[in-house]
Amino acid sequence: MLKDVIQARALDGYRVWIRFEDGREGVVDLQPHLKFREVFAPLKDPSYFGQLHVDANLGTIIWPNGADFDPDVLYSIITGIPILLEPAG
């Protein structure tokens, strides 16, 4: 269920407005999903968090240091559709 992110905009309070290639869109509050450790540590600074952009090759949001979120997770949060895991083979 890969749905690429095609547009995104940082909002206040670690929230992000996202639009997917299938036209679905919504706001994701990333604060509950951020531990602000390792690659995500710089995102604690709101001005750095605001530097997010869409990486068309990855189909998701990314920050200058390479931190990103899985687009399937973002899609699931916005739509409420669970991520289906394929059985181990």
Report the distance separating Cα 55 and Cα 87, nearest Å. 29
pTM of the model: 0.88
Q: State whether CATH 3.30.2020.10 applies to domain 5-79.
A: yes
User: For residue range 43-59, what is the model confidence (pLDDT) as tens digits?
Assistant: 999 999 999 999 999 99
Which segments of the chain have a pLDDT < 50? 1
